[in-house]
Amino acid sequence: MPESHALLGASNSKQWINCPPSARLQQQFPNESSVYAEEGTFAHSVCEYKVRKYLHERVKRPQSEAYDSEEIEQITDVYAEFVIETIERMKRNGCEPLTLVEERVDYSHLVPSGFGTADMIVIGQDENGKGILHIADFKTGKGVFVDAAYNSQLMLYALGALHAYGYIYPIDTVWMTIVQPRLDNISTYVCTREELEEWGESIRPIAQLAYEGKGEQKCGDWCRFCRAKPVCRACAEEALALAKEEFLDLDDGVLAPIRASPEKQHTQEEGTAPTELAEPTFKQPGLVPFHELEEILPTLNRISAWIESVFAYVSGEAINNGVPVKGYKVVEGRSKRVFTDLKAVVDTAMQNGYTDLYKKELISLTEFEKLMGKKRFAELLGPYVQKPPGKLTLVPDSDPRPPVERTDSPEQEFTALTAQEEE
């Protein structure tokens, strides 16, 4: 969950650790809450409710007309079950663990004014009686797989918890888990207390740079949520450098567009803006080999996100603030017809003899599970439940999901195609 108040928050730590000046640069832009962020906030409150209920605290279930759904119920169940199992396991190891839910942690001994809110902190012991600090963070996103290994957000929470409780409780190892149910991801990273503390010391000077708005501006996958992205010069330069190097013969110093052909330059009236972009001049005509595309793929991913953010920013300025954009105008998009008064629609249709107005639908799998209870559902309907394989997606090697074993080799595909063609 994003911490809206800390300049050097844990949730955006990957960003400021890799690009220290970004923390101050993005302060110039409003931190607008997205629908996803609001849904995430609600889901977190449901997680909190479920864990506190298990801990026998008096709590009221949060409500939301917009976001309360079966899916939220499912994903928060996954998180709550993980937390409960963690606590129960420690109890089986012979201790009564300390459990803290939605706990504010302070790591300002390493990062200026640094604090955050940890979803779960459990302090107890393993089966050998060694002290464990376990931190868990719930993620609702499904766009990017979040790995627990060397996850700076978790490590900062852990450092904060260690700072607050490490002198009371004997802690030998630190467990850090990401629970990201929408991607079937529960990933845990374990390190020793010393390793964690060493990492904390290593980021101390970087945090100081970030706090002062200094350091090198550097693009990477951490740019994803940076609010300065649409106007970030490092991103613009990276995109144009790649285009220039790989594909196009661009003018130097261009943010200027693709050069106009001599013919078009000649016919263009002086002092008027070009009405259309000229044809690009390709460095090497022909086709780009696959291996070259492979090499630039990670950068292209990032550039495409940057381009989207530029369009969103410029469009927002034009649409919301009336800022004129040269060569563009604001128009109304297409819209669909809607009924203004549903009751009147039904009454009028009925009065005129149209009665078949409603559809009936079978309740969903989760609703069946709620109706019958998990055990009865498994007994009665379990045999009819199947989890089909997910849609194939190309992801970077860093994604911890195992690769799909393909049975069709290119040769086989070729054979199949050839056979088909010959039929």
Residue whose CB is less far from ligand SF4, 19 or 51? 19
Contact pick of 218, 244, 264, 370 for ligand SF4 (by CB under 6 A): 218
Q: Report, in Å, the least distance between residue 326 CB and ligand SF4.
A: 24
Which of the stretches 41-49, 228-236, 325-333, 335-343 binds ligand SF4 when contact is defined by CB under 6 A?
A: 228-236
- Strand, coil or helix: what is 275? coil
Site for ligand SF4 in 282-321 (CB under 6 A): none
Residue whose CB is less far from ligand SF4, 261 or 301? 301
Number of residues that bind ligand SF4 (CB under 6 A): 15
For position 176 contacting ligand SF4 by CB under 6 A, the verdict is no
Residue whose CB is less far from ligand SF4, 86 or 309? 309
For position 22 contacting ligand SF4 by CB under 6 A, the verdict is yes
Report residue 242 as tokens: 């790649």
**165 contacts: CB under 8 Å, gap ≥ 6:** 98, 121, 123, 133, 171
For position 185 contacting ligand SF4 by CB under 6 A, the verdict is no
Which of the stretches 114-122, 218-226, 250-258, 268-276 binds ligand SF4 when contact is defined by CB under 6 A?
A: 218-226
Contact by Cβ (8 Å): 225, 12: yes
Contact pick of 17, 135, 183, 234 for ligand SF4 (by CB under 6 A): 234
Taking the mean position of all CA atoms in its chain, how far away is CA 62? 24
For position 226 contacting ligand SF4 by CB under 6 A, the verdict is yes
- What is the distance between the alpha carbons of residues 282 and 3, in angstroms, rounded to a whole number? 46
Which of the stretches 117-125, 175-183, 212-220, 357-365 binds ligand SF4 when contact is defined by CB under 6 A?
A: 212-220
Sheet (strand 115-125) strand order: 98-106, 115-125, 131-138, 173-180, 185-192
Report the first-to-last Cα separation within the chain, whole angstroms: 58
For position 235 contacting ligand SF4 by CB under 6 A, the verdict is yes
- Given the DSSP bridges, would you call strands 173-180 and 131-138 parallel, antiparallel or unpaired? parallel
Residue whose CB is less far from ligand SF4, 22 or 185? 22
Q: Report, in Å, the least distance between residue 211 CB and ligand SF4.
A: 15
**Rounded to the nearest 5 degrees, what angle is found at the Cα of 192, between the Cα atoms of 188 and 194?**
140
Q: Report, in Å, the least distance between residue 213 CB and ligand SF4.
A: 11
Q: Report, in Å, the least distance between residue 222 CB and ligand SF4.
A: 6
- Phi, psi (5° rounding) for residue 2? -70, 135
For position 7 contacting ligand SF4 by CB under 6 A, the verdict is no
For position 219 contacting ligand SF4 by CB under 6 A, the verdict is yes
**Rounded to the nearest 5 degrees, what angle is found at the Cα of 303, between the Cα atoms of 28 and 403?**
120
Angle between helices 152-165 and 193-212 (to 10 degrees): 110
For position 140 contacting ligand SF4 by CB under 6 A, the verdict is no
Contact pick of 111, 191, 228, 303 for ligand SF4 (by CB under 6 A): 228
Contact pick of 7, 19, 47, 90 for ligand SF4 (by CB under 6 A): 19
Q: Report, in Å, the least distance between residue 233 CB and ligand SF4.
A: 8
**107 contacts: CB under 8 Å, gap ≥ 6:** 10, 114, 115, 116, 156, 157, 159, 160, 163, 200
For position 229 contacting ligand SF4 by CB under 6 A, the verdict is yes
Which of the stretches 132-140, 215-223, 360-368, 406-414 binds ligand SF4 when contact is defined by CB under 6 A?
A: 215-223
Q: Within 10 A of 101 (CB to CB), how many other CB atoms are there? A: 20
- What is the distance between the alpha carbons of residues 260 and 254, in angstroms, rounded to a whole number? 13
- What is the distance between the alpha carbons of residues 285 and 283, in angstroms, rounded to a whole number? 6
For position 25 contacting ligand SF4 by CB under 6 A, the verdict is yes
Residue whose CB is less far from ligand SF4, 59 or 305? 305
Q: Within 10 A of 238 (CB to CB), how many other CB atoms are there? A: 19
Which of the stretches 142-150, 195-203, 220-228, 403-411 binds ligand SF4 when contact is defined by CB under 6 A?
A: 220-228
Residues shown for the chain: 423
For position 15 contacting ligand SF4 by CB under 6 A, the verdict is yes
Contact by Cβ (8 Å): 232, 217: yes
Residues that bind ligand SF4 (CB under 6 A): 15, 19, 22, 25, 217-219, 222-223, 226, 228-229, 232, 234-235
